[in-house]
Amino acid sequence: MGAVMIKCPDTGRDIATGIVADRESFNATPVFFARVLCPICQNEHEWFAQQAWVCESDPAAKRRPTQSPSASL
């Protein structure tokens, strides 16, 4: 089990959606649409399951190398 994470579209930072799932069942979930109140910019972001991933480890403890194809510099 892990936290379902998305990338904040405004700040580009990873935020937790408040949903907890295990990776395999989340990947098997049909595409859905949800909203999350972003703790960073205090906006409500809309996201699709396609954009999200399951962070199995504590997001505060480990920092994953970001593999974003559209890096904004």
The footprint of Zn ion (CB under 5 A) covers 8, 10, 38, 40-41
> Is 41 or 55 the residue whose CB approaches Zn ion more closely?
41
- b/e map of 35-60 (b: 16 or more CB within 10 Å)? ebebeeeeeebebebeebbbbeeeee
Query: At closest approach, how far in Å is the CB of 9 from Zn ion?
Result: 7
Whole-angstrom Cα distance, residue 9 to residue 69? 14
Nearest distance from C-beta of residue 6 to Zn ion, angstroms: 9
Minimal distance in Å, beta carbon 16 to Zn ion? 12
| Number of other CB atoms surrounding residue 4 within 10 Å | 21
Nearer to Zn ion (CB atom), residue 11 or residue 27: 11
| Closer residue to Zn ion (CB): 47 or 54 | 47
